[in-house]
Amino acid sequence: MTGRSPLSSRLLCGAAGVAGLFCVMELAGRSGLIDPIVFPLASTVVSRAAALAADGEFLADVASTLGAWAAGLLIAVLVAVPTGFLLGTLPRVEAALRPVLEFLRPIPSVALIPLALLLFSDRFDMKVAVIVYAAWWPVLINTMYGLKDVDPLAKETLRSFGFGRMAVLWRVSLPSTAPFIATGVRLAAAIALILAISAELLAGGASGIGTFIIEAGGSPDALEYIIAATIWAGIIGVVSNSLFTLAERRLFHWHLARTGGTR
Amino acid sequence: MLEISNLDHTYGSGPGAHHALGGIDLRVTQGELVCIVGPSGCGKSTLLRSIAGLLKPTGGTITLNGTPVDRTPDDLAVVFQDYSRSLFPWMSVGDNVALPLRRKGMDRGQRRAAAEEALEQVGLAGASGKYPWQLSGGMQQRVSIARALAYRPSLLLMDEPFGSVDAQTREDLEDLTLRVRNHHNMTILLITHDIDESVYVGDRVVVLAKAPATVVGDLRVDLPGPRDQITTRENPAFVHLRAEVGRLVRGMRSHPAAAS
Amino acid sequence: MRFLRVAGRLWLVPVVLVAWEVATRTAEDIFFPPPTVIASRMHELWFSGPAQHLWLTEGALENIPTSLGRIFSGWLLAGVIGIALGIMLGRSERFSQFVDPIIQFGRAIPPPALLPLFLALFAIGTQMQVATIVFGIIWPILLNASDGARHVDRLHLETASAFGFSRGQRLMRVILPSAMPKIFAGLRLSLSLALILMVISELVGSTNGIGFQLLDAQRSYDYPGVWGSIVLLGVLGYVLNTAFLAAERRILSWHRTANQTT
């Protein structure tokens, strides 16, 4: 009774779950339940994905997608955070702009890709532009939301010690809003990846994971390539999400402790 | 009707274990209202949860009407202290009261009628269309009592039922309990940490010692009925009993050696 | 009074529209048509039909219901599957341990990346679009449902046991309602995601729908048509979100008020 059973380890169970899924897919293919021509074998896909990791061309595509993703995300944060602070500290401006923002926000960002294709001659710029547009919303909204959450008592404490508006902004508002901004950036990162791949699927021509997937469509083992590349897209998503979550926990453990958040 | 013998429960194992119940013997006969008092943290709730079948004790036996309790018995109802969490906020008051009756095989109309009747008994006629959170705390606790009454249990368990309401409401609810109990001739086991309350409401007061809990006193309350908040409480017999129970509860505190 | 208050809130909207009109008219850039031109193009494309069709044109009647149908069928399917799986995950710690990595991976895949796969598996058409939507939007529903089901108040569950609720009652009357506020949060997020995925899936492989019309306008260099389609999609997004919020307010009234009073 004192030894830890293997069932108590999340890691082991998770690995078993993944292995189980793999085996089921493989068996379904080998037994003919799913025709391997319609859907490739799990083992084929995994070995193809492994091979892609050493494929220079594919790596260049990944680099291109990640480049646009990082650039777009960075610009979005640089624009959205100051805007959020401006709107959050000037309630009259916010009240005036709110309806305009509320009309713009529901526009599905991918609908802008065809327009962006017309406006930008350079594919990379086009990608970055739509990413910036899509990624700035979660950062902006979370910044404004976080500012509303700043403890007025903390601000008044500092003001009572004779600090000015800017000092209060810098020492209280910014640090207490930072966790919210971080959450916004994490959400924006996932959206940015969606937009990057969408833009690549539609624009073609240039390089990127989306382009790779579209171009693979022409080859005889198209599906194998498509699924392998999709797996890599998923891995990139997982890694980016865990890095952001980890950074959030590290930087803002005080915030989690205060709100009792566990996730 | 309820027999508890040598009930023992330990939470967890190893050095962090908590020995909550240390061999409790208790026998409750049909129609009795037994109050269980004890210092807070003495395992009163553990005892109640064991009787309700919500918790599997590590030792001893509980039998209700001759059948051993290993899961929640069919003819048992519970009134919890925390009414706001025990009533379902997404259902109307009437639905809250009527829902458990499905188990009794009643049809829709019968369930509704039974719920109305129970609500009327607790003084909430016409409230069945409201939601629990639209009512005051005392009224919400009346709803949970109505829910238990409508269920017509042979044993009603009440876990600190008046612990979360103000003093005036508390007295009203104590009298309500006495009234419905006379009306239905139900067996009630009421857990409280309030000594006055135990003597005022109970036919019998059972005193538990600090954890691991054991029965250290079992007093019969012979007070003239009907009881009344003012006159009963100034009755010399009441004052005497209250002191007696108080001594038993406190006596254990001053002799920690006896408890361990 | 009410009118004045609304006017006070919305004054910037007409100002922006007029400024946009003036700026585009002076710039005369074909990429940026003035709002009036966009509006008349929208009227022409969708709202100049016969009165018995509620003034909707053939094009509107063919494309708008198609797109909405895809959104709603995808959303409904994802809702049913997501809630069922989510509650199972939330109530069974063991099950969730085994499938957690698969779920984390699934939700990290950018859904548009799956378009070519579904295109190959289902061919062009509604099936492929619905598959993309379901796969893309199921995650918020699933994760919220499992979170909600995991954190059901213990006393609610004990009350259910004490009164001998059956398994079905426990699920339908206690666990599901408890998880509902969370589930609704997931459903709302999913609805806006469904719109995005509907558009991208129609842009990539479709022969009808609003996304297809947008692509068509882009291919024929019909700039007001492109802008008009974007505006139409924005209006659609706004209407969907507002309608959802109104429905949520009605259905979850107990939750809002219960949390205010306690």
CATH number of the domain residue C70 falls in = 1.10.3720.10
pLDDT digits (tens, 9 = 90+) for C20-76: 899 989 888 888 899 999 999 998 888 888 888 788 888 888 899 999 999 999 999
pLDDT of A6 higher than 70: no
Best B69, B83, B90 residue to mutate vs chain C (most C CBs within 10 Å):
B90
Task: Please tell me the predicted confidence (pLDDT) of residue B252.
Answer: 47
Of C109, B257, C19, C239, nearest to A236 (Cα)? C109
Of B179, B113, B187, nearest to B142 (Cα)? B179
pLDDT digits (tens, 9 = 90+) for A211-254: 888 888 777 788 888 899 999 999 999 999 999 999 888 888 77
Instruction: Report if residue C124 sits inside a domain.
Output: yes
Instruction: Report if residue C95 sits inside a domain.
Output: yes
Q: Is B99 within 8 Å of C261 when comparing Cβ atoms? A: no
Instruction: Report if residue C161 sits inside a domain.
Output: yes
- Read off the pLDDT band of A205 (50, 70, 90): low
- Read off the pLDDT band of C1 (50, 70, 90): low
Best B88, B97, B143, B156 residue to mutate vs chain C (most C CBs within 10 Å):
B88
Q: Are B218 and B203 in contact (CB under 8 A)?
A: no
Best C163, C182, C253, C262 residue to mutate vs chain B (most B CBs within 10 Å):
C163
What mean pLDDT comes out for the span C10-15? 82
**Residue position matching structure tokens 């979170």:** C147
Q: Are A233 and A98 in contact (CB under 8 A)?
A: no
A·C CB contacts under 8 A: 162
State the DSSP code for B89: T
Choose the closest CB to A7 out of C94, C106, C230: C94
Chain B residues bordering chain C (beta-carbon distance below 8 Å): 49, 52-54, 72, 74, 76-78, 80, 82, 84-86, 88-91, 99-100, 102-103, 131-134, 147, 151, 157
Q: Please, where in chain B does CATH 3.40.50.300 lie?
A: 2-75+154-259
Cα C50 off chain centre by: 30
Of B202, A210, A31, B112, nearest to C113 (Cα)? A210
Residue C88 identity (one-letter amino acid): M
- Residue numbers of the domain that contains C249: 63-256
- Where do the domains of chain A lie? 59-259
CATH of A59-259, one of 1.10.3720.10, 1.10.10.60, 1.10.645.10, 3.40.50.2020: 1.10.3720.10
User: In Å, what is the CA distance from C77 to each residue of A186, C71, C111?
Assistant: 27, 10, 16
Q: Which residues contact B119 (CB under 8 A, 6 or more apart)?
A: B93, B94, B97, B125, B127, B128, B143, B146
Task: Please tell me the predicted confidence (pLDDT) of residue A260.
Answer: 47
d(CA A58, CA A53): 8
Q: So what CATH class is B2-75+154-259? A: alpha beta
pLDDT digits (tens, 9 = 90+) for B6-22: 999 988 887 888 888 88
ipTM: 0.85
d(CA A189, CA A185): 6
- Read off the pLDDT band of A71 (50, 70, 90): very high
Instruction: Tell me the nearest-neighbour CA distance from A110 into chain C, angstroms.
Output: 6
C238 touches chain A (CB under 8 A): yes
- Read off the pLDDT band of A5 (50, 70, 90): low
pLDDT digits (tens, 9 = 90+) for B231-242: 888 888 899 899
pLDDT digits (tens, 9 = 90+) for B164-207: 888 888 898 899 999 888 888 889 999 998 999 999 999 999 99
Choose the closest CB to C158 out of B54, B102, B151: B54
Neighbouring CB atoms inside 10 A of C261's CB total 13
Residues of C in contact with B100 (CB under 8 A): 163-165
User: What is the total count of domains within chain C?
Assistant: 1
**Residue position matching structure tokens 């006629």:** B125
Q: Is B85 within 8 Å of C163 when comparing Cβ atoms? A: no
